[in-house]
Chains A and B, each alone.
Chain A
Amino acid sequence: MENNNKNTDQLDNQDLPELSEDLQALFTSNKLPPSQIDQTILHRAEQHLHPLGRSRTNTKLLRWSGVAVAIAACLMIMFWMNISDTAKQIQPPNMIAVNPKDINNNGKVDIMDAFTLAKAIENNKTPQATWDINKDHKINQQDVDAIALAAVQLSQGVL
């Protein structure tokens, strides 16, 4: 029985297996390609593709080296800041700047220093050299005013 149940232009090698088999036998070479062709092609492939792999690696290295530099920079900044803070923390007491305006020695200059100096002058206490705030070799109201002015300027009372 002929293959009339399918349009001729739809026939394939499952419909005509013997035709397909004989065609394949006719048009298949009985020789394999020489092995030196394999070697030539695969060598070319290695040469052509290897730089791609290497450039990819280079790109990766470049990307990661950038990250590494950034991390190193951050670490150096953190280290430097830590050193600075530590240096501040371990600064010996005799290196603390003594502010002559801090009359009551409470660590800050404020209006209380001006008041303390004013009371000392008023009570004729023994003057101390550091009380000569304006360096005019006199300890008087002008020194009190200088401390009051400094207290206003340093409103937060920091050294």
Chain B
Amino acid sequence: MPSDQELIKLINQGDSNAFETLYLRYRDWVFNLAWRFTANHEDSGDVLQETFSYLLRKFPGFTLTANLKTFLYPVVKHLAINIQTKNKRFTGNEQLLDSLPAATETIIDEARTELARGLKKLSDQQKEIVLLRFVDNFSLEEIAQTLDIAIGTVKSRLHRALETLRNDPNTKKYFKK
């Protein structure tokens, strides 16, 4: 399976099949990330389209210096906020946490409902870092690079967030083996 770097090299040479491979590799992640910010599938689709249009315009001449997700994350976030502002909808995953049962149209078990309640006690900045770490599986360095903040800031925000969750009756069970 070709690496992202190999695909990007091919795309720079005009290979649209390589772009399709890269798109299919990151499509669902971008869509879910957009949904995390917008809590709206239609808007998430718009963000997905705009994100890859933005990426496409970088070619030829695009150079990837790090993980593609660390490149795409700020793009998705920015576009999602713009679309939300344009559509005058509430921005942020606070709305998502409120609307999760309706949005997913599935029965969310009690544990996940409690987790949603626990997450509401975190600030947006803390929540963002927790999600980058535990949903997107970013390293601390990648989080720092993605959010353009010092790694010490990442560590302190993550530490406070996890301590809040550890001490919350809704989420403390996750910290016990």
Contacts and interface: CB of A to CB of B under 8 A. Distances in A.
Interface stretch (A18-26, A112-120, A139-147): A18-26
Nearest to A12: B133
Contact of B31 (A1, A8, A22, A29): A29
B20 A33 contact: no
Interface residues of A, number: 44
A33 B45 contact: yes
Interface residues on B, range: 35 or more
Contacts, number: 141
B135 A32 contact: no
**Interface SS of A by simple majority:** helix
B135 A20 contact: yes
Nearest to B42: A34
B74 to A, nearest CB: 18
Interface of A: 1-3, 7-13, 16, 18-20, 22-34, 37-38, 40-42, 44-46, 48-56
13 contacts: A1-B177, A2-B175, A12-B133, A19-B165, A20-B134, A22-B112, A23-B130, A26-B97, A27-B36, A29-B44, A32-B28, A33-B45, A41-B53
